[in-house]
Structure 1
Amino acid sequence: MQRLTSWLAVLLLFVSAAASAQTQLSETEEGERWFNLMADALNELNFEASFVHVQGDRIEPYQWVHGVDENGRQFEWLSQMNGPGFRALRIDDVVSHFHPAATSYSLNSNAVSTLIPSAFNQPFVNVSKYYRAVAVGGARILDRKAQHIRLVSRDNQRYGFSIWVDRDNGMPLKVLMVNREGEVMEQLQLTNLSVRPVANEMVNELGKIERPPMLDKLQPHQPPRLDVAPNWSPAGFKLLKKQHHRLVIDGTPVDHYLYSDGLAEYSVYLTDDSEQQHQANISFTGPQTLYSQHNAQIMVTVVGQIPIEVAKQIASSVQ
């Protein structure tokens, strides 16, 4: 009898473990399913929305419009409602940036702005090697039923995300970028959303806007000039751009390297700074991590949406 009881206990333990594993699998599958529904919504829906973007003490309101015309072309418009009035227009894979106080330009991209990560309108499989998507329950956001999904870093070399997706149409209603301790680094919250069966007249007007020239025509590409470069990047981060230019603030000549994994991005700036090689390192963690150090006669500065330990490793790789 005692032996039978022991076998039953083992069997119950096995069944419980299997059920737990199945639940975890289901949560993961559901997380990926909701992410893909969000990607479909951002590519297919005709919507008008407004949202606030919060980064530290900075709160900025935006207008956001998306529509698909009868030929299947996507139009996306993003307009900053405060300040000088930055605006961006995406027509399929060309994004035009309109700057009232600077030169306007166009470039090839599938995201209208870094405020809305480029991976959001792509299948989850594109980032699945470096993130897990987990469905973790429901909530009410913008007076709508929402599904909460978490994107968790698989390697602790990047921040995580919490996304609340509209259960009816897949639209992202709220997005948080969080660090390893769960602190919110950046957030986006919709304040209004209107989904239409067909694109409204504004989309037709967007197609009539005269777009500025492509960036490579306005600014001929200058390759990096220094004989050093970053030799390490976190897994999944791809080099999007490398060039030499002068900083807008003070005209300092720099070599600039831009990396992204589709959800987050960071920049590496290299400056010939041999006269100040004994200056102390600079380290700051906030909505944007900033880390600077001297490697021999080069000042290396890393800025972006990455943990400070990762920024230090990137900077140290410049040899």
Structure 2
Amino acid sequence: MHVRTYPALLAALCAAMLLPLAQAQQAVRAQPVASSSEPAVVERTVSEWLMRMHEASRKRTYVGTFVVSSGTGSLSSARIWHACDGAQQMERVESLTGAPRSIFRRNDQVITFLPDSKVAVTETRESLGLFPNLLQTGDSAIPAFYGAKQVGSDRVAGFDADVVVLKPKDSLRYGYRIWSEKKSGLVVKLQTLDAEGRVLEQAAFSELQLDAPVKMEKLGQMMANTAGYRVETSAMVKTTALSEGWVLKNGVPGFQPMSCFRRSVGTGTAADGMVQWVFSDGLASVSLFVEAFELQRHLQEGSTAMGATQSLTRRIGDWWLTAVGEVPQATLKAFAHGLERKK
């Protein structure tokens, strides 16, 4: 991943979710749900709902067209092929808007084909999936910070779906409205909500074929075919924040450290690149990117919003911090002011 400024950082994070994030002008309104005359809804805890959705995303084969919209009125879409075989997961994502791009994933191995430049970028990524990984932390902390309530039923892309609202219990995280296919639990639509219930961003299938004949072998052959492309490898070395000289002196409630990497910057190597420290509360995630301060590049501290994705930049002595996440600005500020240099 070649990142030097915030827009490039954000683009890299969007690619890490295997889908381009769009910016939309109008908040998308919630679809109508079932009336009270329909059968009683199934009572499940937040953990039960999330585990059902998580397992469905790993066990179903499907092909579909996926559309993302958020706060400024534009849309982005992609065609997705997903195959699974036990613990093995494979995906192919073809962008339908913007610059041509094809992304293939086999578990944590990813290759991105850029036809315009004839470049193929290979890298290793963690916690990939069609939607942000719903159970990144793998512990029981989620119910302490979110509640779940089924609010009815609806239809998405021709499938009957349960509609569930995940409501945060504090102001440090967003809420979610999720449509999950009734039979399998597969998430077919997701909205990110602010504190007032307004839709910041929506992601949904406009067309979906469940149990489609997607062959892992065929996807693997396409993934391996780099003929005519210049193959570049994104440098990324696993590390720890402490060994890099950083601590979070005041933790942010619910967010636990997930991973820490040193990444290449521009044409440099990982050894002289930036550090990425990732946190998650099991639903939302925050990345702290830290690199050496350069006056020519790091001109002004500030904050930016693109749909549900917020960013914040801040100088810390001889270092420059970029915090990015699908969380409120107050959460990023808590991370930024809690980060401290120890060596």
TM-score, normalised by the number of residues in structure 1: 0.72
Q: Deviations over 1:64-115 (max 9, x none)?
A: 222334x774333222222333333333x33313131455214253524xx5
Contact 1:222 1:245 (C-alpha < 8 Å) held by counterparts: no
**Aligned match of 2:221:** 208
**Aligned match of 2:173:** 158
Q: Is 1:241 matched with 2:256?
A: no
Q: Is 1:306 matched with 2:327?
A: yes
Cα distance change of structure 1 residues 138 and 31 upon mapping to structure 2, 3 Å threshold: farther
% identity of equivalent residues = 19
Within the candidate set 130, 144, 165, 2:145 is matched to 130
Contact 1:77 1:90 (C-alpha < 8 Å) held by counterparts: yes
Q: Deviations over 1:30-89 (max 9, x none)?
A: 6554433322321222221111012333421111222334x7743332222223333333
Cα distance change of structure 1 residues 230 and 242 upon mapping to structure 2, 3 Å threshold: farther
Distance (whole Å) between structure 2 residues aligned to residue 96 and residue 178 of structure 1:
30
**Aligned match of 1:182:** 197
Q: Is 1:37 matched with 2:57?
A: no
Distance (whole Å) between structure 2 residues aligned to residue 212 and residue 107 of structure 1:
18
Paired residues in the alignment total: 283
Partner SS for 1:111: coil
Contact 1:281 1:291 (C-alpha < 8 Å) held by counterparts: yes
Q: Compare 224-233 and 47-56 and name the one that shifted more.
A: 224-233
Within the candidate set 140, 145, 149, 2:164 is matched to 149
TM-score, normalised by the number of residues in structure 2: 0.68
Q: Which letter does structure 1 place at the counterpart of 2:235?
A: Q
Contact 1:68 1:75 (C-alpha < 8 Å) held by counterparts: yes
- Name which one, 1 or 2, has greater alpha-carbon Rg: 1
Q: Deviations over 1:259-300 (max 9, x none)?
A: 333432222233443869x97641234422122233344333
Distance (whole Å) between structure 1 residues aligned to residue 127 and residue 225 of structure 2:
17
**Aligned match of 1:95:** 109
In structure 2, stretches of 5+ residues that fail to align are 1-40
Mapping for residues 17-96 of structure 1, pairs under 5 Å: 29=44, 32-57=47-72, 58-69=74-85, 73-91=88-106, 93-96=107-110
Q: Is 1:261 matched with 2:261?
A: no
Contact 1:31 1:149 (C-alpha < 8 Å) held by counterparts: no
How many Å apart are 1:117 and its aligned residue? 1.3
Cα distance change of structure 1 residues 55 and 306 upon mapping to structure 2, 3 Å threshold: same
Distance (whole Å) between structure 2 residues aligned to residue 306 and residue 316 of structure 1:
16
Cα distance change of structure 1 residues 65 and 280 upon mapping to structure 2, 3 Å threshold: closer
Distance (whole Å) between structure 1 residues aligned to residue 193 and residue 292 of structure 2:
34
